[in-house]
Structure 1
Amino acid sequence: MSITSEELNYLIWRYLQESGKEVSALALQEESRVLEFEEKFGEHIPVGTLVNFIQKGILYTESELMVRYDGEVTPVDKEHCLKDFTLVQALEVDRERYPEIAPEGRFALESEVKPEDKDDKRTEPAPSATGENSNFIKTLQEKLKFPMSSNSQWNPQENSLIALGGQDSAVKIAKLAMDSQDWKILELFSCQHPPALSATADTTTNSVTCLQWSPSGQSLLSGVENGELRLWSKDGKLQNILNLHRSPIITLKWNQDGTHILSGDLDNVVIVWNAGTGTPLQHFEIKEPDSVETLGVVVEWIGLDKFVIPGPQGAILVCEMGKNRPLGKLIGHTKTLTEFEYNASNNMLLSASDDLTVRVWRSGSINSLNCFYGHSQSITSAFWINDDNIITSSIDGSVRVYSHSLHTLMALSMVDGVPIFCGSISPDKKKFAIGKQDGGVTIYDIEKLIKVLDAVRSLQEPIPIPIMGDYQYDGDHNSVAAISWCYDSNQLSISYSLDDTTAISLG
């Protein structure tokens, strides 16, 4: 007598459908061949078959205990027979009768824990990631100040170029001299959007709300309050004007080869542009009935021609260039979407939402692979560290590192109750910077943390995240608005809500 894995999958699928767990049944249906079995055998398999088989299996296991190896029936304990047989009792009987064979020699895996070591492994305290010099935290010093800007972006290919977006409708591109101890601005290019009436207020400030360099670093895209987009060369020359949005731009994203652009505004309008000609190719206007709430503040490419955008009620819409309707939607989040990041290495999408959860989505599946809880307030950043680990920050003052393969929290840092307004991971994925409400910036040593996590097989509790350096703001009542890393991962810029932008160095 035998049963195949596909037959077992079908029985589980039937059980899920019969018990009303339609979402779980759909997930299993996507990953197996249950529909083929349904066509062939569905009418011949009665309701409740899986539960019936399991109950018979429990009874058979208990019956085995009453028969000796030579076929003789053991004395019957009437009191035992009057008790209900349970699954736990059956598993204990099976373990006694057929003890687990420990892998040895060439059959043993490096990651296998020997049976005699298991108890010690469970009680082993979490290792420290801070190392011997845990009390030493480097104090980072200011290298240069720039005029006040709400956001800043380093060029992804040249360390000496940085773009700054201000409240005066202008984008500044600064070319720096960074060789000496004292940094200097060698050239400053001004890229001016025309002053215009703001779409949200009766003013003509028309602040720069978004900046994004192209992957090659040759072009800079800027968006302002009235919805206008402008494309500039790296030396400040106007290349194109993209004018179709009618409300403040809140997100911009180039695709991997720099041929197309995604832009999103405050009214939930997303537009796909041809970066070379400035022509709008697709227009998505996602409206939720009786609601003026922003559905999300992020968009993301998941390939050269596929992308995801926010949808109603926390849904993630999967779209493709050339098709005016979404290919499908990912259901799981329930509120405004705040973070997307696609990992091309493992083909997985990371998302965060104001429902205080972080989810991981696998390519080809409509159900999330992971759903991480823990944050008690809005999530302000979420990034892939590698193909397994994810790092997040939140206004609740915590930084968390999760493992998607282990489905668990691996590391945790609390910032003394100070809200974290933004977070940014370095291009080399070895450092993570957070900007706080009090104006300070803390930089975590992710490289050291990952080495510790790789050295242990399991954790009893999350370990602390080692701190590499700290920058203390000397002003009052001023919070960090944005952080941007330099291409070499050794410098970063800090934009403040009410003060000049600061550049600091880790060197």
Structure 2
Amino acid sequence: MSTMSISSDEVNFLVYRYLQESGFQHSAYTFGIESHIAQSNINGGIVPPAALLAIVQKGVKYTEAEIMLGEDGVDQRMMESLSLIDAVMPDIVTTRQQALQQQTQQSGTVSKGSSGLIKQEQEANGEENSTTAGSTVTSGINYSSNLTSGTTTEPMDVDSSIEIPANKATVLRGHESEVFICAWNPTQDLLASGSGDSTARIWDMNDNSTTQLPNQLVLRHCIQKGGTEVPSNKDVTSLDWNCDGKFLATGSYDGYARIWTTEGRLASTLGQHKGPIFALKWNKEGNYILSAGVDKTTIIWDAKTGQCTQQFSFHLAPALDVDWQSNNSFASCSTDQCIHVCKLHVDKPIKSFQGHTNEVNAIKWDPTGTLLASCSDDMTLKIWSMKQDNCVHDLQAHSKEIYTIKWSPTGKGTANPNMNSILASASFDSTVRLWDVDRGACIHTLTKHTEPVYSVAFSPDGKFLASGSFDKCVHIWSTQNGQLVHSYKGTGGIFEVCWNSRGDKVGASASDGSVFVLDLRKL
């Protein structure tokens, strides 16, 4: 039997993946750069979720088996499970071996046969169930909770009357790794998804689809190597449809942005960033694409020609998010804790906001482009106005990092001018909060999730909010009273939730490679 070996590149890749799956996105990006993940030849598409934890778990199991196997090769009595820390401490292992031997001698019985050991080896080899990343370690050491069955789900802690049964959801299988993002086409029911398997996919969820399972188009992200086209083996990190739904833009860890047609044809490759792209957005008119990357820059691209129109280099660290204010002005945020507002053909930022004390994870303009909301690892939300330097509101209520934010599509300056502006925030403290921005007050705290919340999305009419968490649940809430309306539990941690343009379908993407659609008309 050949000896198993593992290279430092492979260890680095598994650590990088673990950081991603656990929600430490920025740490993962930094670690990936410092350990030169992009230069390794590892195909991320074939690495299963929770691979590092599975290997660690196997190591602990084999250490337990080693302890229980006496010098005569006979399985000793069962012992309590080792923790990971125990397993790497020789003194602990020796002490337990001696204790087991003493127990065996005192009882005078030895278990003949090896069924217990075989079962342990089966568990260690993952033969009982496939494993997927099911939760995030937020504090302390809790390894076993990250390995949960990918084929069964535990009952939810919600009223059964609001729980959506499995047969009411359409589960879309095809991705071979985590699915980080998903987005509906604005004009028809095409759901796009982007994954760590270096593909994006377009799923046809239109009602007139003739096949039982929805058709999927696979958009393979390839790079030129030695004169031939090969898979990039890098994560698809972001995607966005243009205003009329004719084109899909994707951003990748390979440093390229790409434009695709709804038929899955590659229309343009945008290559100017020197490193991974973290965020990417079309402007409303659809003539420009905006991207942000680890190279500390943001770029405005001409969507027709695929050429870089202007590159902005004002951040001192990786740019994490961007959002258009108008068709030619935008805001960007960074791990440097700064926010810059820039304008096409203007050489310097037209406004800069400082006030956060940690990485700024996401920024969003309100529907009118008047107020800018930002959220940070410093656990605060801040509201900014172009009319002043200091923030309008400093909203402090979350007890952990705030991962993302979304404005309600209704509010001042929209079709409902009498309604106050509402903002939703998703945090690693497992809660979602709804804020009345005009008053600077939290109006609802949504507390049914039990793990970090990665995504929130308002329905088009603003009456409902969907949230997705690493507890595998998608919850749908009433924004008027904060009550839970529907819940669905999938098979992996939820990275993204999104509504279709009519507001009757919710899409979600998960850490186990699944994408699913909840058709609210069937409920």
Which residue of 1 is the match for residue 515 of structure 2?
501
Which residue of 1 is the match for residue 174 of structure 2?
147
Which residue of 1 is the match for residue 399 of structure 2?
376
Q: Does 1:359 align with 2:382?
A: yes
CA shift, 1:204, in A, is: 4.9
Helix, strand or coil at the partner of 1:368: coil
Helix, strand or coil at the partner of 2:196: coil
Aligned Cα RMSD in Å?
A: 2.6
Aligned residue identity for 1:470: S
Helix, strand or coil at the partner of 2:454: strand
d(CA) in 1 for partners of 2:498 and 2:425?
16
**For 1:49-198, what aligned pairs fall within 5 Å after superposition?**
136-139=161-164, 141-148=168-175, 149-159=179-189, 161-178=190-207, 184-185=213-214, 187-195=215-223
Distance 1:206 1:313, change over 3 A: closer
Question: Deviation string for 1:352-380 (max 9, x for gaps)?
Answer: 11111111122322221111000111112
d(CA) in 1 for partners of 2:208 and 2:494?
27
Which residue of 2 is the match for residue 275 of structure 1?
303
d(CA) in 1 for partners of 2:335 and 2:453?
27
Return the TM-score normalized by structure 2.
Answer: 0.61
Between 1:170-179 and 1:271-280, the stretch displaced more is 170-179
d(CA) in 2 for partners of 1:230 and 1:313?
27
CA shift, 1:287, in A, is: 4.9
d(CA) in 1 for partners of 2:448 and 2:211?
31
Aligned residue identity for 1:323: V
d(CA) in 2 for partners of 1:196 and 1:419?
38
Q: Does 1:302 align with 2:325?
A: yes
Aligned residue identity for 2:277: I
Which residue of 1 is the match for residue 503 of structure 2?
489
- The question of whether the paired residues in 2 share the 8 Å contact of 1:352 and 1:358 is answered with yes
Question: Deviation string for 1:161-180 (max 9, x for gaps)?
Answer: 12222334332223234369
**For 1:28-43, what aligned pairs fall within 5 Å after superposition?**
none
Which residue of 1 is the match for residue 261 of structure 2?
233
Question: Deviation string for 1:83-117 (max 9, x for gaps)?
Answer: xxxxxxxxxxxxxxxxxxxxxxxxxxxxxxxxxxx
Question: Deviation string for 1:281-330 (max 9, x for gaps)?
Answer: 11123453xxxx63x42101111111111257422111110012112211
CA shift, 1:135, in A, is: 8.4
Which residue of 1 is the match for residue 17 of structure 2?
none
Aligned residue identity for 2:505: Q
Helix, strand or coil at the partner of 1:247: coil
Aligned residue identity for 1:178: D
d(CA) in 2 for partners of 1:268 and 1:139?
43
Q: Does 1:256 align with 2:270?
A: no
Runs of 4+ in 1 over 4 A off after TM superposition: 179-183
d(CA) in 2 for partners of 1:255 and 1:393?
24
Helix, strand or coil at the partner of 1:383: strand
**For 1:384-423, what aligned pairs fall within 5 Å after superposition?**
384-385=407-408, 386-387=411-412, 388-415=421-448, 417-423=450-456
- The question of whether the paired residues in 1 share the 8 Å contact of 2:450 and 2:471 is answered with no
Helix, strand or coil at the partner of 2:320: coil
- Runs of 5+ consecutive residues of structure 1 not aligned to the other structure: 1-133, 198-202, 450-464
d(CA) in 1 for partners of 2:224 and 2:460?
36
Partner of residue 244 from structure 1, selected from 245, 252, 272: 272
**For 1:327-338, what aligned pairs fall within 5 Å after superposition?**
327-338=350-361
Which residue of 2 is the match for residue 466 of structure 1?
483
Which residue of 1 is the match for residue 472 of structure 2?
439
Aligned residue identity for 1:494: A
Which residue of 2 is the match for residue 213 of structure 1?
241
d(CA) in 1 for partners of 2:162 and 2:311?
49
- Runs of 5+ consecutive residues of structure 2 not aligned to the other structure: 1-158, 226-230, 413-420
Q: Does 1:425 align with 2:458?
A: yes
Aligned residue pair count: 344
Helix, strand or coil at the partner of 2:495: strand
d(CA) in 2 for partners of 1:398 and 1:312?
23
Distance 1:331 1:427, change over 3 A: same
CA shift, 1:484, in A, is: 2.2
d(CA) in 2 for partners of 1:183 and 1:352?
42
Which residue of 2 is the match for residue 125 of structure 1?
none
Which residue of 2 is the match for residue 223 of structure 1?
251
Helix, strand or coil at the partner of 1:298: strand
- The question of whether the paired residues in 2 share the 8 Å contact of 1:176 and 1:184 is answered with no
Aligned residue identity for 1:506: L
State the identity as a percent.
Answer: 25
Distance 1:287 1:177, change over 3 A: closer
Helix, strand or coil at the partner of 2:321: coil
Distance 1:181 1:277, change over 3 A: closer
Aligned residue identity for 2:284: Q
- The question of whether the paired residues in 2 share the 8 Å contact of 1:381 and 1:424 is answered with no
Distance 1:180 1:371, change over 3 A: same
CA shift, 1:259, in A, is: 1.0
d(CA) in 2 for partners of 1:434 and 1:222?
23
- The question of whether the paired residues in 1 share the 8 Å contact of 2:222 and 2:232 is answered with no
- The question of whether the paired residues in 1 share the 8 Å contact of 2:333 and 2:361 is answered with no
Distance 1:306 1:236, change over 3 A: same
- The question of whether the paired residues in 2 share the 8 Å contact of 1:362 and 1:369 is answered with yes
Helix, strand or coil at the partner of 1:468: strand
d(CA) in 1 for partners of 2:171 and 2:449?
28
